[in-house]
Amino acid sequence: LYDKSSQYKVTLFGTVKLPKISFHPPFLMLMPVPLDVETEGVFTIIPEDYVRPSQIRVELPELVLADGAKTCPFSVQFPEGQDIVLSSDGRNHGFICRVSFRSSEPMSYLGDIVFIDEE
């Protein structure tokens, strides 16, 4: 006969891995160039622990010139696309990012370009 008063306890353990991205190399230094000449750097974005497709967005800094005007001398391109794609074995593949800088005004910048995923 089935005893309705019997209780069973099940204990579950698990680890939640939050998706993250890393960069190789971890920082980028663009070479000084004459005014109105473009300089660029290339790095790899490496997604880790993504369980579903996502897409990377970029927030570029807006810089203030000496006369108070605002400018964004940076541009970002993803030659292979900016989608985080899962392979059949569940691994995430890295992809290339190209950052370029061009300015008609003398300037330097030390700071962050922000990369955001859908998570």
Is it the case that residue 45 has pLDDT exceeding 70? yes
Q: pLDDT of 1-37, one tens digit each?
A: 566 667 788 888 888 888 889 999 998 999 999 999 9
| Within a domain: 9 | no
Domain count, the chain: 1
**pLDDT score at 82:** 92
Burial of 47 (0-12, 13-18, 19+ CB in 10 A): buried
| Within a domain: 13 | no
**pLDDT score at 15:** 83
Is it the case that residue 48 has pLDDT exceeding 60? yes
Domain limits for position 50: 20-118
| Within a domain: 39 | yes
| Within a domain: 80 | yes
Write out the chain in H/E/C secondary structure.
CCCCCCCCCCCCCCCCCCCEEEEECCCCCCCCCCCCCCEEEEEEEEEECCCCCEECEEECCCEECCCCCEECCEEEECCCCCEECECCCCCECCEEEEEEECCCCCCCCCCCCEEECCC
Is it the case that residue 90 has pLDDT exceeding 80? no
| Within a domain: 91 | yes
| Within a domain: 106 | yes
| Within a domain: 38 | yes
Q: What are phi and psi of 83, to 5 degrees?
A: -90, 135
| Within a domain: 86 | yes
Instruction: Residue 17: name the closest of 47, 46, 45, 49 by CA.
Output: 49
Structure tokens at 6: 């019997």
